[in-house]
Amino acid sequence: MANTVGSAAVTSLPPEERRKQMMRAVVASTVGTSIEWYDYFLFGTMAALVFPHLFFPKSDPLTGTLNNYAIFFVGFLARPIGAWLFGTYGDRIGRKATLIATLLVMGIATFLIGLMPTYSTLGLGAAVLLVIFRLCQGIGVGGEWGGSVLMSMEWGSQKRKGFLGSWPQFGVPVGLLLSTAITALTVTLAGSATFEAWAWRIPFLLSIALVAVGLYIRLGILETPVFQAIVQEKRVEQRPITEVVRRNWREIILSALLRLPEQAPFYLFTTFVFTFGLAATKLDRPFLTWAVSVAAIVSFFTIPLFGHLSDTIGRKTIYMAGIVVMAIWGFVYFGLYSTAIPLVVFVVIALSLIPHDMQYGPQASLIAESFTGRLRYSGASLGYQLASVVAGGPAPYIATRIWAGETFLPAKNPYMISAYILLCCVIGFVAVVLLKDRSAYDHTTEYEHQEVQAESMRRQVAG
């Protein structure tokens, strides 16, 4: 039976060898995603700190900031394209090869940003190049997440899906810490004037060394047992995107919507934090970058913790609790931030990602286990990355316009941004409630068979 071969393939290795391969897969996924997110977050940090002056020097400060956040958004628009492209190949040729390709796309694009001319040399052509490289970054990260999560989860055991799936998520705070800490160190050592003149390029150029490390690690791992079983059983889907949209459109939409209360606040707390801090509190750049770096360190512990708790308490229970906390935290965050008291601001920024981590820890498994094995890369990637268009991408842009009074809401009122977070939380909570809980299903087999069995048992009990 097809539904049992997958499980047999997963357990065919000796226990010791299987544990060794699982550890390699987790490390490869975590290191790879850390590098990818370093590249991706670095752009957001620079967009808030120096890009307005470098690429839109003739614009007023507000327009320059909005232009850069618009380019920042371009990377999010490209992420569903990366999900479609790499999701297709991830379900057709395998997780490993696809993950190597995503790392190269992201790394090369980021390195080239460090070499590109600015407005003073190329005029508006420099902004065009920036858009192109940002598109490449978005495509790369759009395909990265799904493969990294599956590499960890499909090597792991049924009872630890939440915990193992949280480790690729762990790459987010690592990447955030690397990008903000290296930027803060560069600003501190070079000084603001030198940093804006040329030293901003250093963090981008360093990415090529990180990519080399990531490639070395990823080349040494094996393909997941789940995908090997799909190949052996000749169940590879040749048009996975078409098939998963036809079969699982509901799960894709709900996966995107449940990310609103996690992703939109995240980019407010890690990117818009600089715009708000420089404009509303007059705190300097090194102070803010170090504070965000501490927030990333806190996430080192909280993301795996909540991933683990989702295995014991329940995936949806932890996730919905995180949404409720985020709805309240949005008002607490901006209320305390607005005091402009350095110690208070530092602490509130340092703790800002905990409500996010309550959702992000269990999120990978919550989304990935909603799709059957032969369509999992495509389905999970699409659901995850579509949120970028409505949540993470526009969040800093929307928050900047709200703060500047460019909307119907009162200007200079931080609680209006808190209300925006609250709206995201309401939508996300409804999406989680509507998403079917498949955490008890065996991820090494086809879900269709398990759902037929479950429905048959329900009918027997009802009869």
Q: Which of 356, 419, 431 is nearest to 169 (CA)?
A: 356
- Give the sign of the dihedral formed by CA 417, CA 68, CA 342, CA 184: positive
Amino acid 70: pLDDT: 84
CA distance 431 to 417: 22
Amino acid 16: pLDDT: 77
CATH topology of domain 11-455: Growth Hormone; Chain: A; (1.20.1250)
Amino acid 4: pLDDT: 40
pTM over 0.95: no
- The model's pLDDT over 134-182, given as tens digits with 9 standing for 90+, comes to 999 989 988 888 888 888 888 877 778 788 888 888 888 888 888 888 9
Residues of the chain scoring pLDDT < 70: 1-13, 406-408, 442-463
Please report, for residues 70, 239, 344, 349, 351, the alpha-carbon distance to residue 47 in angstroms, rounded to integers and kept in the order given: 10, 38, 25, 19, 23
For residue 27, give the 3-state DSSP assignment. helix
Amino acid 442: pLDDT: 67
CA distance 18 to 242: 33
For residue 123, give the 3-state DSSP assignment. coil
Amino acid 447: pLDDT: 57
Report domain extents, the chain.
11-455
Amino acid 1: pLDDT: 37
Contact 200, 46 (CB under 8 A): yes
Amino acid 453: pLDDT: 54
> What size, in residues, is the chain?
463
Q: Which of 179, 13, 235, 206 is nearest to 107 (CA)?
A: 206
CA distance 301 to 457: 40
Amino acid 248: pLDDT: 93
